[in-house]
Chains A and B, each alone.
Chain A
Amino acid sequence: MRRALTARFCASFNSWRGGSMSECPPPQVVLFVLYSEFVDLSPWPAKMPTARLRVVVNGEMIEYYDISGCYILRPWAMSIWEVMQTFFDAEIKKMKIKNCYFPLFVSSGVLQKEKDHIEGFAPEVAWVTKSGESELEMPIAIRPTSETVMYPYFSKWIRGHRDLPLRLNQWCNVVRWEFSNPTPFIRSREFLWQEGHTAFATKEEADTEVLDILELYRRIYEEFLAVPVIKGKKSEHEKFAGGLYTTTVEAFVPNTGRGVQGATSHCLGQNFAKMFEINFENEKGEKAMVWQNSWAYTTRTIGVMIMVHGDDKGLVLPPKIASVQVIVIPVPYKDANTQGIFDACDATVKSLNEAGIRAETDFRDNYSPGWKYSHWELKGVPLRIEIGPKDLANNQVRAVRRDNSAKIDIPMADLVCQVKDMLDNIQQSLFDVAKQKRDACIQVVHTWEEFAEALSQKKMILAPWCDEEEVEKDVKTRTKGDMGAAKSLCSPFDQPALPEGTLCFASGKPAKKWTYWGRSY
């Protein structure tokens, strides 16, 4: 069951407002048992610490905080966010999209405006009611998303066709005061995201941008986070309420058998333009309404990456987003040339850094090499280099991969070249392995029986569908249970052949398309 913290806003206001607790069981994300010797579990809210939550704490990604659902992003996580931000920001700037910043505070009147159109989301809004000791005349809301804040300005700034396209993006925090099981990165009350909001003169331009942005989201997942995703279109039921259509990149977590909406790019059509009176004079001098898009990805991306790659030892970070790609650990022995080993470690890091590889040493003298191995494995560093007396004597280092524990000895002369290769290789192999596991979870079905069976096996199900909203609602009702209901994830752009006469798995009516189904976050 996907709920509130969908990667894209309100993705569907209805679903994230209306879902009841019973529909939304705690995600059973028990991936591994953890090293607990250096963590104090006591201050955690009792219901929180499933193993996965512990790994994000122990891996120093996140820290719990006194306010439920609010988390501290520690440098280890923040640097991942920054890598993605750097990539995405440069790409959208190439597309002539500009950054800006709209206020955090929304007056209740403005919020009301959206409520008129879409069912309100007041239940999840946090309200400022006081300043200092005084009560505010009108409570002021903290943005759950920024359409209502931004679009009045679109209306103000756009006059003629020369003002178009207007393409804005902002990097900011948003707040959604949910009560269902907060989960770090996946569902938190405050999270970081980018939200892009654009307006065009024609639908064609808007359509093109929707896909251009979706491609960037695919690249974030596949090229940076090494997480395979499926590009597709959301069903009418799952699309962004008020929009024309929603495209998505859908990821899948094999261990839990749940789909994750990775990020969404919406074509809003002209509905918001109508509501907010965003008009322009076209080239013929006629009044016309703009076509709008909006798109976003959040810190949820990091959560998906953790769930897809993490193992019993902890995090496994893809090299491209790891803030430390190589950790160099001295392995001194009694009577050995300790100083020589330390010098070799320094020299190793220096040559790697010079080659643009993010490498660090761990010279702490109060921990054993073995402890350090576990520590950096838990933190997910892609490659470990060990230097001991034997390596020093042979003028080599020992490299150990985090992802498959493979060990090789690298002559110092080949260091940079081989480390680079290994990092590339790890990046690729993380993706390949993840894809293989994901693909193994995909099950093609044709009938309800097959569907139900596949769902019980936690599959990502590809089924022919009649594309009727009532049928989807029916599927949800029929699959309701402890694990949460199944729903459509997306109709992939890449459609397998649909032979004439294929019937819908759920309704038996003629099928119109292939659609992915499953349980979801």
Chain B
Amino acid sequence: MGALRLPSLTSLSSAAAAAVPRHRFCRQLRLPVRRLSVQSSTAEKEIATPRSSAKPKLQEEKDRVITPRSQDFSAWYLDIIANAELADYGPVRGTMVIRPYGYAIWEAIQDYLNVKFKETGHSNMYFPQFIPYSFIEKEASHVEGFSPELALVTIGGGKELEEKLVVRPTSETIVNHMFTQWIHSYRDLPLMINQWANVTRWEMRTKPFVRTLEFLWQEGHTAHATPEEAEKEALQMIDMYTKFAFEQAAIPVIAGRKSKVETFAGASKTYTIEAMMGDRKALQAGTSHNLGQNFSRAFGTQFTDENGQRQHVWQTSWAISTRFVGGIIMTHGDDTGLMLPPNLAPVQVIVVPIWKKADERAEVLDAASSVKETLQAAGVKVKIDDSEQRTPGWKFNFWEMKGVPLRIEIGPRDVSSRSVVVSRRDIPGKQGKVFGISMESSTLVAYIKSKLDEVQSSLLEGAKSFRDSNIVDVSSYDELKEAIAQGKWARGPWSASDKEELKVKEETGATIRCFPFDQPQGPKKCLMTGNPADEVAIFAKSY
């Protein structure tokens, strides 16, 4: 519950309080006043005027809402979510309303992955949300892993149900139940499906995007004739996620295999992508499981092979959820607010027209909208902020806080010189600002596109160097403890027991995030026992 800083909305369960409390974030969106020295030549003077009296300034100081990231990461995260209008708290504790700006990021994730899934031969379908409790019980470790967090429906249509129904926490059981009926022979294999759905896990400690009672995800489920094919599929999907994280989200995840302790309930092997957040905690951003024959044995999912023998199928499942949006926020955001990778940003370029005198207005707005149309026609996601109630300075702050990668400023002088000023979100101040970019469409489009690419790769590079400077190679438990105490990730050889892994967790709060695919060469000795080890593991505290 600690994560839910806002007035708890559980009070809504009383009929009288059905309205959502109006907390301070929503309306009084006052951004920190920024030093105006960084404004463009055209903007400089115009902006200074409206904010002269001392009172509003004081007011703004008081209402400053984004807690600096360095001061309190968790408070910063929640401030960003509220101010950038990514999400709001749902009426039931631990649930979340995903607002259009946050949902658009999820849609960008969906658009990319959905195409990739289909290219690799997966079909979308939809399974019911309710699962008979008896299904969940069939795979022993699965029920053990999930039972504490199951939401159970016991009343429907005013009647006590004969069998309690589970609101799906994941769909392996129902998928297997159906696969058993659909798969008869080797000709029916591989069977590869995906669904985009909501799932529910009754978590006690929640945090918007990162952990909510209900979240959105895609879950892929496949069945194969051989263990080799299943393993290949599980690896193919974790590779797809890795590529997505690097290329689209600019998150340099570390891909690897989970330890036995951390393996998905019911899987033989779990592959994961682990991302380092701005507070250096790890976020499991996507997983792909090789389920072996665990579920097919529990559900009797068999096929007749080419020799007429009955065999159990080999399966995988894999998922990415709205949690990934939280990962993007916590990887790239800074004290100013959100910072979105251009490839996933709902708005890639914000155009801010700047005018002072009434007679300048029309020409500036004309130029701004023609710039907008030029870029839009070239496939750039561009928005124009021509509202007259806000000053350009306020708009600059606002759209920076919303994480828009590029800003174009157009003032009267720019109109006469047929050029614009372009500022990068990722490089604050003058360094990130370039004057005199021609409005001529081919020049402008080429420039903007190359800048978007630059922002995209610079975000990745920035995150990579942050990540690398915070991973420490350790060769003893003491070194591991020290690294974790410093808030870093520890990477060291590991061949010790599950018990010792749990001891590390108890003593340091860190868990094995993964055995990375990318392994150093040479002989290794387990950091805990000194015994020979085949692999290094990465330990970190995590979300």
Residues of A within 8 A of B (CB): 40, 43, 63, 65-67, 70-75, 77-79, 81-82, 98-110, 112-113, 116, 122-133, 138-140, 142, 148-149, 152-153, 155-157, 159, 162, 168, 172-173, 175, 177-179, 189-190, 192, 276-277, 364, 366
Contacts and interface: CB of A to CB of B under 8 A. Distances in A.
A177 B100 contact: no
Contact of A131 (B14, B104, B150, B177): B150
B32 interface: no
Contact of A126 (B18, B107, B156, B178): B156
Interface string B270-293: 000000000000000000000000
Contacts of B92: 103, 105-107, 140
B12 A107 contact: yes
B132 interface: yes
17 contacts: A40-B181, A71-B128, A75-B125, A98-B103, A101-B98, A107-B12, A109-B13, A113-B15, A126-B155, A128-B154, A130-B152, A132-B147, A140-B92, A149-B91, A152-B12, A162-B389, A168-B100
A519 B104 CA distance: 42
A173 B167 CA distance: 12
Contact of A112 (B15, B130, B156, B387): B15
Contact of A133 (B14, B130, B148, B174): B148
A129 B153 contact: yes
Contact of B22 (A101, A123, A127, A156): A156
Contact of A98 (B100, B127, B152): B100
A288 B322 CA distance: 37
B18 A152 contact: yes
Contact of A173 (B129, B147, B158): B129
Interface in B34-58: none
Contacts of B197: 173
Contacts of B123: 75, 78-79
Interface in B121-161: 123-130, 132, 135, 147-158
Contacts of A127: 153-156
Given A132-B150, A156-B20, A98 B104 contact: yes
B1 to A, nearest CB: 14
A108 B214 contact: no
B216 interface: yes
Q: Which of B16, B18, B99, B154 has the most CB of A within 10 A?
A: B18
B97 A132 contact: no
Contact of A108 (B13, B100, B125): B13
Contacts of B152: 128-131
B482 interface: no
B324 to A, nearest CB: 14
B27 interface: yes
> 5 closest Cβ contacts across the A-B interface?
A75-B123, A98-B100, A131-B202, A177-B157, A70-B128
A73 B13 CA distance: 34
Given A99-B100, A109-B18, A129 B154 contact: yes
A70 B542 CA distance: 37
By size class, the interface of chain B is 35 or more
Contact of B198 (A63, A67, A104, A129): A104
Given A70-B129, A102-B98, A110-B12, 17 more contacts: A63-B181, A72-B127, A100-B98, A103-B92, A105-B213, A109-B14, A109-B17, A123-B157, A123-B158, A125-B156, A129-B153, A130-B151, A138-B13, A148-B18, A152-B19, A190-B130, A276-B19
Interface string B1-29: 00000000010111111111010001100
A101 B216 contact: yes
Q: Which of B98, B157, B158 has the most CB of A within 10 A?
A: B157
B15 A153 contact: no
A128 B167 contact: yes
B19 A155 contact: yes
Contacts of B135: 66
A190 B128 contact: yes
B251 interface: no
Nearest to B124: A78
Contacts of A189: 156
A66 B177 contact: yes
A100 B214 contact: no
A437 to B, nearest CB: 31
B200 A104 contact: yes
Nearest to B199: A104
Contacts of A133: 147-148
Contacts of A277: 19
Contact of A175 (B129, B154, B181, B187): B129
Given A109-B15, A123-B158, A175-B129, A156 B26 contact: yes
B171 to A, nearest CB: 10
Contacts of A177: 156-157
Nearest to B387: A162
A277 to B, nearest CB: 7
B373 interface: no
B474 interface: no
Contacts of A40: 181
B92 to A, nearest CB: 4
Given A110-B18, A131-B152, A70 B125 contact: no
Contacts of A123: 157-158
Contacts of A153: 20, 88, 97
B100 A100 contact: yes
A286 B197 CA distance: 43
A192 B195 CA distance: 13
Interface in B84-132: 88, 90-92, 95-100, 102-104, 106-107, 123-130, 132
Given A153-B88, A155-B19, A105 B95 contact: yes
B441 to A, nearest CB: 23
A196 to B, nearest CB: 13
B18 A72 contact: no
B99 to A, nearest CB: 6
A267 B93 CA distance: 32
Contact of A105 (B26, B90, B157): B90
Given A75-B193, A109-B15, A128-B167, A179 B157 contact: yes
Contact of B27 (A132, A152, A159): A159
A99 B103 contact: yes
A75 B124 contact: yes
A67 B132 contact: yes
Contacts of A74: 125
A84 to B, nearest CB: 13
Nearest to B85: A157
A142 B20 contact: no
B387 A128 contact: no
B184 to A, nearest CB: 10
A100 to B, nearest CB: 5
Contacts of B107: 99
A72 B182 CA distance: 12
Nearest to A71: B128
B510 interface: no
Nearest to B130: A67
B368 interface: no
Nearest to A131: B202
A67 to B, nearest CB: 5
Nearest to B126: A73
Contacts of A110: 12, 18, 91
Contacts of B156: 125-127, 177, 189
Nearest to B156: A177
B117 to A, nearest CB: 12
A152 B91 contact: yes
A139 B155 contact: yes
A105 B20 contact: no
Contacts of A190: 128-130
